Amino acid sequence: MTDSLKIPDLKDKAVLVTGASTGIGAALAAAYAAQGSKVALHYNSSREAAEALAARIRDAGGTVFLVKGDFSVTADVERVVEESASHFGALDGLVNNAGGMIGRLAYADMTDAYYDKVMDLNARSVITASRAALPWLKRKGGFIIHTSSIAARNGASGGAGLYGSSKAFVSNVTRGMAKEFAPFGIRVNRSRRGVSASPRTVSGPICSSRRICSAAM
């Protein structure tokens, strides 16, 4: 946790970061905690990693609440948001970072089941979490940040096309929500990342090139 950047506006704010046990989400959760935010740290399968991160945040003097849920399941998404906001008595920010490729499948081999898995996790969850957070965010205003991908603009290959399409959906949803939520004092933005070092990319085919992985680091 770094002291090089201070953002006073984030101190004591209650922020839910989804998909926060590893990778980008973990870095975001740690960064918000370093700014004095109260962090709701969502995870699904990576319990040990989530608990280890929570311990580091607490050891550094931060406040963190661990909450588990499968973000491909609507009821879980709604519960995670509600439990996080209820725990802190407020919700000032939502970072929709949970998502994943699920697997690589060419469009020619697409199935309804695969389509549903990818879109439920990467697209539907963003709308569900934002909708669930809205009544809390309306109280004092706040922010929503969606994690998108450069694949939303460029498209994706190697069986990742549907994942890229789901992120294009997220980018467009961001624009619509920004217009719709602005009257409530709620800012909506998205982060569109490229290749970054995470457990998924380091162990996957994208890191078959050491040069690419080194750049991502």
Q: How many domains does the chain have?
A: 1
**pLDDT for res 6:** 87
Q: Is residue 200 part of a domain?
A: yes
Task: Give the Å distances, CA to CA, from 107 to 34, 99, 112, 162, 175.
Answer: 42, 19, 11, 8, 27
**pLDDT for res 205:** 52
**pLDDT for res 217:** 28
Q: Is residue 51 part of a domain?
A: yes
Cβ atoms of 48 and 21 within 8 Å: the answer is no
Task: Name, in order, each residue with C-beta under 8 angstroms of 112's C-beta and a sequence gap of 6 or more.
Answer: none
**pLDDT for res 174:** 97
Give the distance, in angstroms, between the CA of residue 168 and the centroid of all CA atoms in the same chain. 15
**pLDDT for res 203:** 52
Q: Is residue 82 part of a domain?
A: yes
Distance CA(121)–CA(47), nearest Å, equals 18
Q: Which parts of the chain register pLDDT below 70?
A: 1-3, 152, 192-217
Q: 132 — phi, psi (to 5°)?
A: -70, -35
Q: What is the CATH number of the domain that holds 168?
A: 3.40.50.720
Distance CA(208)–CA(105), nearest Å, equals 19
| Catalytic residue selected from 43, 114, 115, 163 | 163
**pLDDT for res 190:** 93
Q: Is residue 21 part of a domain?
A: yes
**pLDDT for res 204:** 53
Distance CA(17)–CA(94), nearest Å, equals 6
**pLDDT for res 216:** 34
Question: What residues make up the domain containing 40?
Answer: 8-216
Residue 171 CB neighbours (<10 A) = 15
Around 185, how many Cα atoms within 13 Å sit in the side-chain half-sphere?
A: 9
**pLDDT for res 179:** 98
Q: Is residue 106 part of a domain?
A: yes
Task: Name, in order, each residue with C-beta under 8 angstroms of 79's C-beta and a sequence gap of 6 or more.
Answer: 69
Short-list 137, 125, 163, 113, CA closest to 44: 125
Q: Is 163 a catalytic residue?
A: yes
Q: Is residue 3 part of a domain?
A: no
Q: Is residue 50 part of a domain?
A: yes
Q: Is residue 38 part of a domain?
A: yes
**pLDDT for res 127:** 98
Whole-model pTM: value is 0.86
